[in-house]
């Protein structure tokens, strides 16, 4: 085996009150893909940030090409050939592709004005985009107008343009569609073939199985073992991450009751030319699969009333729901757990208590004045029930992990009596342990007669939780699948636009 390109020995990193990394070791060899797995809070992101120069280790050593180095900041990391694709994209929406790739390193023409050499910047940028197999996007396109996947490609191109030998990626596929994910995974393999090493974090184990040469697991900030190519299986990875076995899930077998929601010829603002009709019954979990942008979130938002419909009817328990009114939807028992927790699910700078009571403040007040005692006791009860990990309910939500934040969103609605709960990507960015808890909650709700509409781009989740699957494609429903016909292949065929009649 060749010498490692990068070697970490005994790296420890402390944050106030937390031991984020404890004597972690990691080697990366030239031209390999290392998947870093672990539950949220296991220290994966901290480890990558330490490599990328964002954090400095308190103890331990880093060697590159066998020589000890100190990575003081991001510029140092780049100089050592380390590129970092963060979980949140760091692109400028209002600047074109070439401008983003060469931000801060723009080629200039001679002269005192230092004008940008437009010809060179676009030619160079196009070369790197081509290397990623992207020729359909002109380098003059504004990055904000591109789909998320392409924005990410721009970031990768930027890293490549800096002669990156080690590419660090923190959950690169978490906001990509299934087909975009495929493209990205293919690119990682192309880069490996060119000798670039990749260290990446993903919660999607099927991806890891597909591309990783090696798996390194972290648990509670410590090395929790590794797997070689042939050892990488779903069960082995889960075992390493949680330190115990978690069974592969199959949907609960509860009997659906009478119809709760009837959607008739609904047309959303985004796809005003497409009609959507379906019904949801008491006690069933219905998965809504499809590619991102298929219009699933728009349907959910229109039912919940935050978007106005372009046409059609929403009938809840036999009564027509007024259009465009979240208050009316909530009154009818319809609650939405939105896709973007931090933007629309929670007021993150407020406390757990304030978030939980927000939609139902009427219950915690008399004559318009708040009853703090009641707020505290109710929010404490709910966060205990949902096992939110926090010292007190006065903790600000932004300091919680993704899984705990999602539980707070759930607690918000549990205080009321849900009849229909719409989950939009319920476990995005949430670790395995918290995922299982959220699934259990979902099932418990269904058992108690709640209808659950679950929008998900995670195939494992769709197949593991749904009793019925509705697949959407470009604004319309391309098929309904009952439990026996559900398979990854069947869902994918419908998701990419084979309509049911043609598919069967």
Partner 1 sequence: MKQLFLKREAGIFILLAVLCTVVAILNPHFLKPQNLQNEGRLIGMFGIFSIGAGIVIITGGIDLSTGSLMALLGVQLAIILVEKHWPWPVAILTVLITAGLLGLAQGVLITRLKLQPFIVTLCGLLIYRGTAQTIAHDETKGLGVNTGFELLQKLTTGEVCGVPNQFILLVIIAIIMWVVLHRSVYGRYLFAIGQNEAATRYSGIGTRGIIVSAYVLSGLFGAISGILFAFYSVSISPASHAQFYELYGIAAAVLGGCSLAGGEGSIIGIVLGTALLQVLQNLVILLNIPSSLNFAVMGGVILIGVIADQLLKKK
CA dihedral 336→340→341→343, nearest 10 degrees, is: -110
Smallest gap from Cβ 159 to partner 1, in A, equals 31
Closer residue to partner 1 (CB): 164 or 302: 302
What residues contact residue 105 under an 8 Å CB cut-off, 6+ apart? none
Using CB under 8 A as the binding rule, the residues of this chain from 322 to 341 that contact partner 1 are 326-327, 329-330, 336, 338
Residue 12 CA to residue 59 CA, distance in Å, equals 5
How many binding residues for partner 1 (CB under 8 A)?
28
Element spanning 258, H or E: none
Q: Does the protein bind partner 1 through residue 131 (CB under 8 A)? A: no
Please name every residue paired with 216 in a beta bridge, in sequence order, or none if there are none: 36, 226
Q: How far is the CB of 400 from partner 1 (least distance, A)?
A: 15
| Nearest approach, Cβ of residue 350 and partner 1 (Å) | 6
Q: What mask of x and - would describe binding to partner 1 in positions 254 to 293, judged by CB under 8 A?
A: ----------------------------------------
State the minimum distance, in angstroms, from the CB of residue 343 to partner 1: 6
**x-or-dash string of contact with partner 1, 409-448, rule CB under 8 A:** ---x------------------------------------
Q: Which is nearer to partner 1, 80 or 364 (CB)?
A: 364
Residue for token pair 């398979």: 487
DSSP code string of 136-172:
SS-TTSBGGGS-HHHHHHHHHHHHHHTT-SEEEEEST
Tell which one of 25, 87, 259, 348 touches partner 1 (CB under 8 A). 348
Taking CB under 8 A as the rule, which mask of x and - marks residues 363-382 in contact with partner 1?
Answer: --x--xxx------------
- Judged by CB under 8 A, which of 211, 212, 240, 346 binds partner 1? 346
Q: Name beta bridge partners: 69.
A: 62
Upper half-sphere CA count for residue 166 (Cβ side, 13 Å): 23
For residue 210, which of 238, 181, 247 has the smallest C-alpha distance? 181
Residue identified by tokens 């993903």 is 202
- What are the C-alpha distances in Å from 493 to residues 21, 182, 474? 43, 15, 13
Residue 48 CA to residue 170 CA, distance in Å, equals 8
Cα 87 from chain centroid (whole Å): 9
Q: Given the DSSP bridges, would you call strands 285-290 and 468-473 parallel, antiparallel or unpaired?
A: parallel
Q: How far is the CB of 340 from partner 1 (least distance, A)?
A: 9
Per rule CB under 8 A, is residue 390 in the interface with partner 1? no
Site string for partner 1, 292-321 (x = CB under 8 A): ------------x-x---------------
Nearer to partner 1 (CB atom), residue 9 or residue 396: 396
Q: Is there binding between residue 17 and partner 1 (CB under 8 A)?
A: no
Which one of residues 163, 347, 447, 448 is an interface residue with partner 1 (CB under 8 A)? 347
Instruction: Determine phi and psi for 247, rounding to 5 degrees.
Output: -70, 145
Q: Cα 497 to chain center, whole Å?
A: 24
Q: Tell me if 498 contacts partner 1 by CB under 8 A.
A: no
Q: Which stretch binds partner 1 (CB under 8 A): 205-213, 316-324, 350-358, 480-488?
A: 350-358
Q: Count of CB atoms within 10 A of residue 89's CB?
A: 15
Bridge partners, residue 214, by sequence:
34, 228
Of the residues 152, 173, 351, 405, which one makes contact with partner 1 according to CB under 8 A: 351
Compute the least distance from the CB of residue 326 to partner 1, in Å: 4
Separation between Cα atoms, residue 168 and residue 197, nearest integer Å: 9
Under the binding rule (CB under 8 A), the answer on residue 402 touching partner 1 is no
Closest CA to 44 of 316, 401, 326: 401
Q: Is 399 in the site for partner 1 (CB under 8 A)?
A: no
Contact residues toward partner 1 (CB under 8 A) are 304, 306, 326-327, 329-330, 336, 338, 343-351, 354, 358-359, 361-362, 365, 368-370, 396, 412
């Amino acid at each position: 085996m060749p010498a490692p390109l990068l070697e970490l020995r005994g790296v420890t990193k402390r944050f106030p009150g937390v031991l984020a990394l404890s004597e972690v070791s990691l080697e990366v060899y030239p031209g390999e893909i290392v998947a870093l797995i672990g539950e949220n809070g296991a220290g994966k992101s901290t480890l990558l940030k330490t490599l990328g120069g964002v954090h400095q280790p308190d103890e331990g050593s880093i060697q590159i090409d066998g020589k000890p180095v100190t990575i003081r900041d991001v510029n140092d990391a780049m100089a050592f050939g380390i590129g970092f694709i963060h979980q949140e994209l760091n692109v400028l929406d209002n600047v074109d592709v070439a401008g983003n790739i060469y931000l801060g390193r723009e080629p200039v023409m001679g002269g005192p004005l230092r004008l940008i050499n437009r010809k060179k910047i676009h030619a160079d940028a196009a070369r790197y985009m081509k290397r990623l197999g992207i020729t359909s996007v002109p380098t003059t396109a504004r990055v904000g107008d591109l789909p998320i996947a392409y924005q990410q490609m721009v970031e990768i191109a930027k890293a490549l343009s800096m002669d990156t030998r080690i590419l660090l990626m923190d959950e690169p596929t978490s906001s990509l569609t299934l087909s975009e994910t495929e493209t990205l995974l293919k690119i990682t393999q192309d880069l490996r073939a060119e000798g670039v090493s990749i260290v990446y974090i993903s919660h999607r184990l099927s991806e890891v199985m597909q591309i990783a040469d090696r798996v390194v697991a972290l648990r509670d900030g410590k090395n929790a073992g590794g797997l070689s190519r042939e050892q990488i299986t779903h069960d082995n990875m889960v075992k390493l991450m949680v330190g115990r076995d978690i069974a592969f899930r199959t949907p609960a077998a509860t009997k659906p009751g009478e119809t709760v929601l009837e959607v008739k010829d609904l047309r959303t603002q985004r796809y005003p030319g497409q009609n959507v009709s379906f019904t949801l019954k008491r006690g069933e979990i219905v998965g809504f699969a499809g590619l991102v942008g298929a219009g699933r979130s728009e349907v959910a938002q229109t039912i919940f009333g935050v978007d106005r419909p372009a046409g059609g009817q929403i009938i809840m328990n036999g009564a027509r729901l007024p259009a465009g009114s979240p208050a009316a939807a909530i009154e009818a028992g319809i609650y939405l757990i939105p896709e973007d927790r931090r933007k629309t699910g929670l007021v993150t700078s407020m406390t757990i208590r304030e978030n939980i009571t927000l939609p139902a403040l009427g219950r915690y007040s008399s004559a318009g004045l708040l009853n703090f005692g009641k707020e505290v006791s109710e929010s404490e009860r709910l966060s205990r029930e949902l096992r939110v990990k926090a010292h007190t309910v006065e903790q600000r939500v932004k300091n919680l992990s993704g899984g705990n934040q999602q539980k707070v969103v759930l607690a918000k609605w549990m205080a009321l009596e849900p009849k229909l709960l719409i989950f939009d990507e319920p476990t995005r960015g949430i670790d395995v342990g918290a995922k299982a808890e959220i699934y259990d909650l979902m099932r418990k709700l269904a058992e108690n007669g709640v209808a659950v509409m679950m929008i998900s781009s995670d195939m494992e989740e769709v197949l593991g939780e749904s009793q019925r699957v509705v697949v959407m494609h470009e604004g319309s429903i391309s098929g309904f699948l009952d439990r026996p016909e559900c398979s990854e292949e069947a869902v994918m065929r419908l998701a990419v636009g084979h309509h049911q009649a043609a598919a069967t």
